[in-house]
Structure 1
Amino acid sequence: MESDYLPSSECDTESIESIHQGLIENLSEDEICDITTDVLEQIEMYMTNEIISISSPNFYKNMIDYVSGSVFENWLALELCEETDDDYHEIVEFVEQQVDYYLDFSNIPKRARGYSNDLETFSNFQIINQKIMHLQSIPQPVQKTKEWYDFRYGLISASNLWKVFGSEAQRNSLIVEKCQPVNTNDFTRFSVDTPMHWGNKYEPVTVMIYEHMFNSRVGEFGCIQHPKYPFIGASPDGINVESTNQLYGRMLEIKNIVNRDITGIPKEEYWVQTQIQMEVCDLDECDFMETRFLEYSTVDAFYQDVERDYRGVILHFIERDLKVNSMPIYKYMPVDVSLDKETIDEWIKSVRDECRSQNLVLFNTLYWYLAEYSCVLIERNRFWFQSAVPKIEELWRIIERERIEGYEHRMVKKKVSVSMNTDLSNSYVINNMPLQNSICLVKLE
């Protein structure tokens, strides 16, 4: 079998030396080569047949379990091992070594890899530069206009596309979402207490920290449509646009975590999202950065904390003529501003004076710090996308058909609950209904 990532007939000396363990230490070198080749062929077959599943964080573990089980059964039949936990675990270790060896030489990129200070330079500046210029030239519809709503209605965004490969309930949810007429209220209704809003609020902070860490500059590109598959779209958090930096052309995807652990292993939906974004933009690398920000309970705690590498200030402004569903306006102190009280007070006063002229009122001052973060590199996996496209296209055809024929059979029926007060007012409270013509009263100092 010809392969760039299977050993030659003479086998690999380093690989042989690394697998001399109890079960095979008495085997000849030729026998070890045969066993190694067999395992690598099984790994390659699994990678080829199950590439669509590499989106799962458990992909490599599942592959190791599958190959180890197959090898264990074969070795039992050949009386090369005994049916004991020790022998099985030794085979698992052997297979793990071969998986590492395979991945080092395979043209299928690893699912993600840890960040290294030894950055590789961009392979071809001219090609990357042309791609960036093309992306910057793509016209963007003005947000919240009819054109903007129609544009987004006509595609599946990268952030939701993982549902294509999920459970039946998740697929149904996506189909219903894309079949329902656009409800503009969904784009204006929000709460500052949701994890989504928290993530959006701290996204600019993460960008500033990333730019500071890597001495780069991140640009925004809006929502981009796939040039070949118009039903696929993506809105990357940013792309490195500093042409003199080694990260030029590398995408950035940000997740600001609220209530889960940061492991450095991208969740399945996030891995799918980054792959779709790279395919849409025709770029080959994406830095996946997860951060956890916390806020100080007092101003004194902020100034007393001198241990944090990254901490800062966010000013929360609101419009003086506040309307329902008015979006908060945040102003972010640059991360390179000196953290002494005098300098920060001067910055706050300057921004406050500027915003006052824009009829904005300072509602709150937030003092934050970066509690933890992870940054891993996800490389474009063309093999996965080739396997995924037919499934995406199939679901989009269902959406197009059921927009005409009906999609109601996929909907989850929700009950509207009515709660009756027992006081003399005989008033009612109805939950799960959209608010209309509401007012919001805020007392400003």
Structure 2
Amino acid sequence: MSNATDTQINRQINREINRQINREINRQINREMDLYILKHIDRLDGLCCGDIDTFDSNDVCGFTMNDVKKRASEIKEYRKELDVLLQLPLMKQRTEEWYEARKTRLTASDLYDAIKGNNVSIKLAKKKANIVVDTINYNGIPALKWGTMFEPMATRCYSQKMNDIAIHDFGLVCDTENEHFGASPDGINELGIMLEIKCPYSRKIEDGVIPEKYKMQIQGQLAVCKLKECDYIECVFKSLDSVEEYLALDCDDGNGNDIKHGVIAEYYNSKGEYVYYYSEANRTPKECVDDICGGCDNINPDKSLKFSKYTYWRLDEMIIQRVVFNAKAWETIVPKINAFWESVEEYKSLPLLPIETGMKKYMFVKDDD
């Protein structure tokens, strides 16, 4: 290999290293600024933008007060939209009402598949038209079960990392500009930043990489909620093999940071649907075991539920990436949503035929997520 080639490769490596360093520096600065504004959040709502100069600048680190003023003005607008959303009737996720509402509209989680224009899009349109029987047992898919079980713990870990920021829960939010579109955000924090949470079952996560399907989902959710920013959160949880291994867990990562951990008690009902109970945060492994494993009568008031198992877990990795709404790109997506729903209406108008069984294979990102 020539010296020129070696030099070129070294330059490429250095550029990539610098890019990663700059991305992390910018992310840290942005997070610190958001945390600074969070510290003054009670004052922010009552101030006009000019009054933001009255914030204490002594604890500002890494950015100017002009930066703070600009960011505070953005957050103020985000919180106005959040207040509007909080006035909407809550349609909790995975309830019968939620499932029924999803039948009459495309949702952001299916947006990527809907506008691809292939066999997956056709099957999805038939499903929405109610001429295809969805034969998937979603409770039996390990990746979906894993993600549902750990989503509340991912939300908790994110909140703790963001100085215990409050997270507001939402069910299905219907698009005010399109009656056949909606979204179910995983949460919105008190700064008005949306959350999209993924807890991969086996897929490797990588900083700087967001699967295209999830990018599209986030854009749809931001559009429906009229928000501008989303934290895309990926968490890798490890299920420990035994209670003994969990009790022996060293909760210090060696860098002065606490390792997040806990216990989940799993129950199921007569329909095979799972219900989860979680140990409290900021407790030792022994306290978590005593609370969950030693108090089944207290944690499970519904005696119709049957016990399944305990899951002892620790958080191995969490990556948070900020995604910004792209208004121009969204303008190109809206006509595709309308075209998809036109195809749904066309399928509805077909003569009644024997029910077609379809949707046999669930489309995951990469492997199992």
Normalised by the length of structure 1, the TM-score is 0.59
Whichever residue aligns with residue 256 of structure 1, its letter is C
Q: CA deviation at 1:373?
A: 2.4
Say if 2:267 and 2:309, in contact at 8 Å, map to a contact too: yes
Within 5 Å, give how 1:221-240 maps onto structure 2: 221-240=170-189
| CA RMSD in angstroms, aligned pairs only | 3.6
Whichever residue aligns with residue 206 of structure 1, its letter is A
- CA distance in structure 2 between the partners assigned to 1:113 and 1:226 by the alignment: 36
Tell me the equivalent position of 2:130. Answer: 180
Q: CA deviation at 1:386?
A: 0.8
SS at match of 2:322: strand
Q: 1:249 aligns with which of 192, 206, 216?
A: 192
Whichever residue aligns with residue 300 of structure 1, its letter is E
Are positions 1:289 and 2:239 aligned together? Answer: no
Say if 2:91 and 2:172, in contact at 8 Å, map to a contact too: no
Structure with higher RCO (Cα < 8 A, 6+ apart): 2
Tell me the equivalent position of 1:201. Answer: 149
- CA distance in structure 2 between the partners assigned to 1:382 and 1:414 by the alignment: 32
Tell me the equivalent position of 2:41. Answer: none
SS at match of 1:391: helix
Q: CA deviation at 1:114?
A: 7.4
SS at match of 1:159: helix
Say if 2:266 and 2:308, in contact at 8 Å, map to a contact too: yes
Q: Which has more radius of gyration?
A: 1
Q: CA deviation at 1:392?
A: 1.5
- Rate the CA distance shift 1:385–1:357 in 2: closer, same or farther, 3 A: closer
Say if 1:176 and 1:407, in contact at 8 Å, map to a contact too: no
Q: 1:332 aligns with which of 272, 278, 293?
A: 278
Within 5 Å, give how 1:336-375 maps onto structure 2: 336-339=282-285, 341=286, 343-348=287-292, 351-355=295-299, 357-359=301-303, 360=305, 362-375=307-320
Task: Give ranges in structure 1 of 5+ residues lacking alignment.
Answer: 1-84, 105-109, 242-247, 416-431, 433-445
Are positions 1:116 and 2:1 aligned together? Answer: no
Tell me the equivalent position of 1:26. Answer: none
Whichever residue aligns with residue 404 of structure 1, its letter is S
- CA distance in structure 2 between the partners assigned to 1:192 and 1:399 by the alignment: 28
Tell me the equivalent position of 1:127. Answer: 77
- Rate the CA distance shift 1:183–1:303 in 2: closer, same or farther, 3 A: same
- CA distance in structure 1 between the partners assigned to 2:125 and 2:134 by the alignment: 18
Q: CA deviation at 1:214?
A: 0.5
Are positions 1:301 and 2:245 aligned together? Answer: yes
- CA distance in structure 1 between the partners assigned to 2:30 and 2:206 by the alignment: 22
Normalised by the length of structure 2, the TM-score is 0.70
- CA distance in structure 1 between the partners assigned to 2:132 and 2:358 by the alignment: 19
- CA distance in structure 1 between the partners assigned to 2:189 and 2:261 by the alignment: 23
- Rate the CA distance shift 1:113–1:226 in 2: closer, same or farther, 3 A: farther
309-318 or 231-240, which deviates more: 309-318
- Rate the CA distance shift 1:276–1:190 in 2: closer, same or farther, 3 A: closer
- CA distance in structure 1 between the partners assigned to 2:168 and 2:91 by the alignment: 18
Whichever residue aligns with residue 215 of structure 2, its letter is W
Q: CA deviation at 1:234?
A: 0.3
Say if 1:114 and 1:376, in contact at 8 Å, map to a contact too: no
Percent identity for Structure 1 against Structure 2:
24
Are positions 1:164 and 2:108 aligned together? Answer: no
Say if 1:153 and 1:182, in contact at 8 Å, map to a contact too: no
- CA distance in structure 2 between the partners assigned to 1:351 and 1:123 by the alignment: 47
- Rate the CA distance shift 1:326–1:201 in 2: closer, same or farther, 3 A: same
- CA distance in structure 2 between the partners assigned to 1:334 and 1:153 by the alignment: 36
- CA distance in structure 2 between the partners assigned to 1:200 and 1:153 by the alignment: 21
Q: CA deviation at 1:185?
A: 8.4
Q: CA deviation at 1:371?
A: 2.1
